[in-house]
Chains A and B, each alone.
Chain A
């Protein structure tokens, strides 16, 4: 069967598409693809294809952070993207995806949220980061996270006229402070790999997602998969993620 073959290949350090274990597929970043959004980007890594659109709106801040703008990240596994997806509210995986991407943006302090406060305790800007999937061939988190930061970097805030949003006039860019890059490292037997396809994901033992800042600091992590990791493995996976994040960062 195909799975067994993919597994056998990976265990011997090879991949069906001929890539090295630590090699990304082709990465294409397109920005400003959605004119009607305040910011947008479409990222393709191999056959995985994701659009992120940013909408800005006015809202009331959370009471515990009355002087900060708000970030809301959503993801839908659109049935358009894969034969296994069904219409309906986001499931576990879509929710995890949105939360991991959100965490990378939030914890890196990507956006200076205090600059998005209009009236403390009353009115702040809300950024809606919507992850829209077009085609699923694995590694959704890295692709979504990259599309999210690429879209945020292009986002322009609409002008306020008498307290109302005028979306025809976009001016200032979002106050960007840091850019997190998320790299997922997969593990199978004693091998580590980057950018798994959907087929490869099905045979992985475990995955570690690592969000890395400009200076190599780590700002978010998440382990998934049903097998455990040793301390030594964890540290090697982190090192690999940091190394690969530098390559990705150059593309932005």
Chain B
């Protein structure tokens, strides 16, 4: 993982932004932010903001891509040009393509698709502002957008990253922590049965550390799950 920092990133148990190791940044979630979409949501973890829109199920063209007994999922993760310090040139990078794929795989197990043969459900995720943990923020937004779209689901999908910084296990890495971390593990899971649907890692950790991070993320993820439920209900409690 990333660069070596000369200075310590965690001083007296506090992180750069004053958080404790197991503290999540301020979370904001809003459902129904894009009127044109069948479902949509905006999710922020600190300065990271993702907006997701779901279109469909709708008939899939060209025909040869259709599945006779199920809907298929298409997913696009995209970063806005102004979402980071150095402007990103529009158009999908290799990184964005890979994240699009793992995001799709993280969401698919939560969906019942067999009722919608020959169709596609398009999930579009835009990272409006990036400060670490963008893919899991995008997954939270997509989970809410799918539920808002009325897609039949087994469960919501919760995303959260964990990692190791200096010698400390931390949760919800911001951009700078991501750059200087020893390791970073983004995770997505279906909370009812703690079924993990996304698990990636880069960096170096011993097996015990990996297991601790996974356990901590599943645990802290309950808070993210509660926020998702609150946001969905809020749409109808205005």
Contact = CB atoms under 8 A, between A and B. Distances in A.
Bound pair (A, B):
yes
Interface of A: 34-37, 40, 47, 49, 51, 53-55, 57, 74, 76, 78-83, 87, 89-90, 128, 130, 132, 134-137, 167
Given A36-B47, A80-B51, A55 B90 contact: no
A32 to B, nearest CB: 12
Given A80-B52, A132-B80, 5 more contacts: A80-B126, A134-B34, A135-B36, A135-B37, A136-B36
Contacts, number: 92
B87 A128 contact: yes
B78 interface: yes
Contacts of B129: 34-37
Interface-centre pick from A36, A54, A57 (highest chain B CB count, 10 A): A36
A80 B85 contact: no
Contact of A80 (B53, B81, B82, B131): B53
A197 to B, nearest CB: 11
A89 B36 contact: no
A57 B91 CA distance: 19
Contacts of A81: 34, 36, 53
Interface in B90-129: 90-92, 122, 124, 126, 128-129
A36 B35 contact: no
Nearest to B47: A35
Contact of B35 (A54, A78, A130, A137): A137
Given A40-B82, A134-B51, A80 B90 contact: no
B80 A130 contact: yes
A79 B122 contact: yes
B84 interface: yes
B76 interface: yes
A130 B82 CA distance: 7
B128 A51 contact: yes
Contact of A54 (B34, B82, B83, B85): B82
Given A80-B124, A82-B36, A83-B58, A36 B83 contact: yes
B87 A87 contact: no
Closest 6 CB pairs of A and B: A53-B82, A55-B87, A37-B82, A130-B81, A80-B53, A80-B124
Interface in B115-166: 122, 124, 126, 128-131
